[in-house]
Amino acid sequence: MKRLAILTSGGDCSGMNAAIRAAARTAAANDVEMIGYRKGFAGLLKNDFLVLDTRAVSGVLQRGGTFLQSARSQEFRTEEGRKRALDNLLHDKVEGLIIIGGDGSLNGALALDRLGFPVIGIPASIDNDIPYTDMALGVDTALNNIIYAVDCIKDTASSHDRAFIVEVMGRNSGYLASTSAIATGAEFAIVPEVELDLTEMCHQLRRRYEEGRTNALIIMAEGVGHAQAIADSIKDAIGFETRVTVLGHYQRGGAPSVFDRLLGSRYGRRAVDLLLSGTKGVMVGLAASSLTSTLLEMVVNGGQKKLSEDLTRMADILGI
């Protein structure tokens, strides 16, 4: 192979730059040119790319987000758009493409694979809901961001005897909420995968209040409902003064953690090695600290990764 390409698609996350850098440098070490399409599939549809030689990827490892930028392209979702993407890849003399992103992006990767183009996927989404990998890129950094913010909130919650509802990301996934609840010692994690029994939660909070615990922390995934409505119910049921904090996109940015820098570097290098050895149509992943590769077909058809019941149970037990 003489030329490979890489792009980042969907929601950005920390660690994407590490993966791009590792892919570009692994390609260079094999005398293969790497190009990067700007703004994901949108850039591919416009032949908008830059050459990623070793110098072009200097100084990006420690930066959050993606320096190639990202987008959610509607046009690429159409059959016509996908055919044009294939034409553009052939026009640009690209022989293999690495796609870094979440479920929608991996779906796009599978579409190109089905059109016969060599593609490798790299899982990246702070939601950690992609099957066939223990960890997607960006999850660890997002969790570190969350626990930093929640630790700050705990200080002020205890100074004022207040209950806080902290809303974290995860439209359909409670991974960030459960994991950060365990790591911050929160009383409750509210996740989309488990139906909320508001009366029971208020009952338990009241019991704790009567035992003398005058502040409380509840971490809620954004997909569950309206944080202010839950806060109002707690106020009415117990008398706690309540406040709501929505962490929002703060969670997705910032310098990548050591874990995400290493994971991105491993994924990026492995993706190039796979393409150069003739493997295509797979997503790289992590299982028990080792790198894996799984057919994109299985990843996309695997649906959303199931939240571990043990994780939610642990959040429940340790919050008591």
Nearest Cα residue to 6 out of 65, 58, 71, 50: 50
Nearest Cα residue to 40 out of 65, 63, 62: 65
From candidates 170, 256, 281, 285, binder to ligand F6P by CB under 6 A? 170
- Roughly what angle, to the nearest 10 degrees, separates helices 175-184 and 139-160? 50
DSSP strands (E only) in the chain: 3-8, 33-37, 49-51, 97-101, 119-123, 162-168, 188-190, 216-221, 241-246, 282-287, 290-295
From candidates 4, 122, 127, 145, binder to ligand F6P by CB under 6 A? 127
- Is position 264 an interface residue for ligand F6P (rule: CB under 6 A)? no
Closest approach, Cβ 119 to ligand F6P, in A, equals 21
- Is position 252 an interface residue for ligand F6P (rule: CB under 6 A)? yes
Whether 170 contacts 176, CB under 8 Å: yes
Choose one: 23-31, 47-55, 164-172, 212-220; the region binding ligand F6P (CB under 6 A): 164-172
CB atoms < 10 A from the CB of 5, how many? 25
Window 52-71: contact mask with ligand F6P (x via CB under 6 A): --------------------
From candidates 114, 160, 171, 203, binder to ligand F6P by CB under 6 A? 171
Closest approach, Cβ 173 to ligand F6P, in A, equals 7
- Is position 256 an interface residue for ligand F6P (rule: CB under 6 A)? no
- Is position 266 an interface residue for ligand F6P (rule: CB under 6 A)? no
- Is position 260 an interface residue for ligand F6P (rule: CB under 6 A)? no
Judged by CB under 6 A, the chain residues 218 through 237 that form the site for ligand F6P are 222
Select 116 or 303, whichever has its Cβ closest to ligand F6P. Answer: 303
Which helix (H) or strand (E) element contains residue 201?
A: helix 198-210
| Tokens of residue 195, six digits | 């139906």
From candidates 6, 11, 82, 146, binder to ligand F6P by CB under 6 A? 11
- Is position 306 an interface residue for ligand F6P (rule: CB under 6 A)? no
Nearest Cα residue to 68 out of 95, 90, 97, 91: 97
- Is position 312 an interface residue for ligand F6P (rule: CB under 6 A)? no
The rounded distance, in Å, linking the Cα atoms of 38 and 19 is 15
- Residues contacting ligand F6P: total by CB under 6 A: 10
From candidates 126, 137, 177, 283, binder to ligand F6P by CB under 6 A? 126
- Is position 203 an interface residue for ligand F6P (rule: CB under 6 A)? no
Kindly write down the DSSP assignment for every residue of 83-146, as one continuous string. Answer: HHHHHHHHHTT---EEEEESHHHHHHHHHHHHTT--EEEEEB-TT---TT-S--BTHHHHHHHH
Judged by CB under 6 A, the chain residues 93 through 112 that form the site for ligand F6P are 102
The rounded distance, in Å, linking the Cα atoms of 257 and 261 is 6
Please list the active-site residues.
Answer: 127
76 secondary structure, DSSP code: G
Closest approach, Cβ 169 to ligand F6P, in A, equals 3
The rounded distance, in Å, linking the Cα atoms of 42 and 74 is 9
Closest approach, Cβ 13 to ligand F6P, in A, equals 8
Choose one: 37-45, 105-113, 120-128, 274-282; the region binding ligand F6P (CB under 6 A): 120-128
Judged by CB under 6 A, the chain residues 18 through 47 that form the site for ligand F6P are none
Select 26 or 128, whichever has its Cβ closest to ligand F6P. Answer: 128
The rounded distance, in Å, linking the Cα atoms of 189 and 207 is 17
**Interface positions with ligand F6P (CB under 6 A):** 11, 102, 125-127, 169-171, 222, 252
